[in-house]
A and B are shown apart, each in its own frame.
Chain A
């Protein structure tokens, strides 16, 4: 089983749509979880941390289900600028801060 599995997409949605990305991870010892976004040939940028209770940041909502080892990201009212690859990133457990990146899900928001 892959360490992090994401549907690669692409997800093609119109502006204003709501879109959800799912992710599963294999390391049950992972403690911290993040969503990063990556634009083409750029560095990953932290979008949000994911907390056990679920958390929201503006149009973005993240959920974590530790029992199922499942993480989700919901984007409401999609903007053209949301077009990017979204990376599901659990930590590698241990105390070194290592992160395990998924392949990413590509989102294309169209006018």
Chain B
């Protein structure tokens, strides 16, 4: 069964550092997403990406965040200057239209 792959599974970074979270969506999918889940809280939408551009972003997705699909297979989320409150599980997802497939997530810990 096709899957969405995320790397790394766990990243620890110092406050103020830049991090890049990587995702390889399912190859024939057209829509790509990032969500995050702070421990004990609900899954929150960050951004959707279609046709090489952002189609929607949430209030969480401020100027510190950016996404890129650099080579037609990878889909990355960059956080420029991490804050303690960015500590969360970050999930990448892809879909053809409905019914996402999520990756297994990257646990980001900001210290």
Chain A interface residues (CB < 8 Å from chain B): 32, 34, 38, 41-46, 49, 87, 91-92, 94-104
Contacts and interface: CB of A to CB of B under 8 A. Distances in A.
Interface stretch (B14-22, B67-75, B92-100): B92-100
B97 A97 contact: yes
B48 A98 contact: yes
Contacts of B48: 96-98
Contacts of B35: 101
Contact of A43 (B45, B95, B105): B105
A45 B104 CA distance: 10
A96 B99 contact: no
Given A96-B48, A102-B42, A104-B42, A43 B99 contact: no
B31 A97 contact: yes
B43 A34 contact: no
B104 A103 contact: no
A43 B102 contact: yes
Given A46-B99, A99-B45, 16 more contacts: A41-B89, A41-B107, A43-B91, A44-B43, A44-B91, A44-B102, A49-B99, A94-B56, A95-B55, A97-B31, A97-B50, A97-B95, A98-B33, A98-B48, A100-B45, A101-B42
Contacts of A100: 45
Nearest to B49: A96
B65 to A, nearest CB: 16
A100 B44 CA distance: 7
Given A42-B104, A43-B105, A98 B45 contact: yes
B103 interface: yes
B62 to A, nearest CB: 17
A63 to B, nearest CB: 18
A92 B45 contact: yes
Nearest to B30: A97
Nearest to A94: B56
A44 to B, nearest CB: 6
Contact of B98 (A32, A45, A103): A32
